[in-house]
């Protein structure tokens, strides 16, 4: 890859999770983050555009973690800093030590709690928002509506929103989105509407739908052509109001911005 080709890319990766007793363990210690950043850049054979702290370590002050990022920036290992699943308070503390480039947070039609404090805080500070799981972990695609549609071993079977009664109720909301997509026509689908809704929330919000299939990647990219009117975006917001969605985002024990 030539330097010119590299400049056209934005490479992001994460740190902040080590292993203890052969189990994942959140770690925000300065020495750990500095070492992991250097190793990541070495493996990539390049600098890192955005280096995220994957989860906030409740045992380590965020200020210490950000001091590590300052070291990596000074060394030229990374260019920008990111946080993932961080609360508004944590974002402010971190940004005061080292300006943050982006905050990655779950944001979709069925996960909108970040609208209360996190997105406004990012906008106030000039931080971009990277919306992960914009398709609700696949649920907003309408491809599965009951637990039997998930294969044995699928981690979503342990997620509160995918419990039998929750799926039953949440599926009714997706059916309304599917009906709206049918009205819009031109090959529109529930998943494309869901992605279009996230993109309609502001130019500072970038959705990153995950997929393991090129076919689905192409479908996701196709969503950019389905721009929504203000009325359509509002209709989608009304279809899936936060109070209508059944179940927590994660099962108990996961590190989320709610606990920071």
In this prediction, residues 118-127 reach a mean pLDDT of 98
Is 209:135 a contact under the CB 8 Å cutoff?
yes
Q: Which of 55-64, 153-162, 178-187 has the highest mean pLDDT?
A: 55-64
pLDDT score of 255: 60
Contact 79, 48 (CB under 8 A): yes
In whole angstroms, give the CA distance from residue 214 to residue 229.
29
Measured N-to-C along each axis, helices 190-199 and 230-239 cross at an angle, to the nearest 10 degrees, of 110
Q: Radius of gyration of the chain from Cα atoms?
A: 19
Longest alpha-carbon distance in the chain? 55
Pull the structure tokens for residue 155.
Answer: 């981690």
Q: List, in sequence order, every beta strand (DSSP E) within 169-210.
A: 205-208
Instruction: Give residue 223's pLDDT band: very low, low, confident or very high (50, 70, 90).
Output: confident
Helix (H) or strand (E) holding 238: helix 230-239
Residue 233 or 253, more confident: 233
Closest CA to 156 of 180, 179, 140, 175: 140
For the ranges 71-75, 106-110, 208-212, the lowest mean pLDDT is seen at: 208-212
Q: Residue 141's closest CA among 111, 109, 168?
A: 109
pLDDT band at 256 (very low <50, low <70, confident <90, very high): low
Confidence at 221, pLDDT banded by 50, 70, 90: confident
State percent of the chain over pLDDT 90: 68
Whether residue 230 has pLDDT greater than 90: yes
Beta bridge partners of 106: 132
E-assigned strand segments in the chain: 12-15, 17-20, 23-26, 48-53, 78-84, 102-106, 128-132, 205-208
Tell me what the pLDDT averaged over the chain comes to: 91
Give the strand pairing for 17-20 and 23-26. Answer: antiparallel
């Amino acid at each position: 890859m030539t330097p010119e080709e590299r400049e056209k890319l934005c490479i992001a990766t994460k740190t902040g999770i080590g292993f203890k007793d052969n189990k994942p363990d959140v770690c925000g210690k300065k020495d750990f983050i500095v070492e992991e950043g250097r190793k990541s850049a070495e493996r990539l054979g390049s600098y890192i555009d955005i280096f995220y702290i994957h989860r906030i370590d409740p045992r380590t002050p965020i200020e210490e973690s950000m001091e590590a990022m300052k070291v990596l920036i000074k060394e030229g290992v990374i260019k920008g800093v990111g946080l993932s699943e961080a609360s508004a308070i944590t974002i402010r503390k971190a940004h005061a030590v080292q300006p943050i480039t982006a905050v990655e947070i779950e944001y979709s039609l069925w996960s909108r709690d970040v609208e209360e404090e996190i997105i406004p805080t990012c906008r106030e500070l000039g931080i971009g928002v990277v919306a992960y799981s914009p398709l609700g972990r696949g649920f907003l695609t309408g491809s599965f509506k009951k637990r039997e549609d998930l294969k044995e071993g699928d981690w979503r079977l342990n997620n509160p929103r995918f419990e039998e009664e929750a799926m039953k109720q949440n599926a009714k909301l997706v059916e309304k989105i599917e009906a709206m997509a049918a009205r819009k026509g031109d090959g529109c689908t529930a998943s494309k509407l869901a992605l279009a809704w996230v993109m309609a929330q502001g130019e500072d919000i970038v959705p990153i739908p995950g997929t393991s299939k090129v076919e689905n990647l192409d479908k996701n990219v196709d969503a950019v052509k389905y721009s929504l009117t203000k009325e359509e975006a509002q209709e989608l917001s009304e279809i899936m109001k936060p109070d209508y969605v059944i179940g927590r985002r994660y099962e108990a024990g996961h590190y989320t911005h709610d606990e920071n």
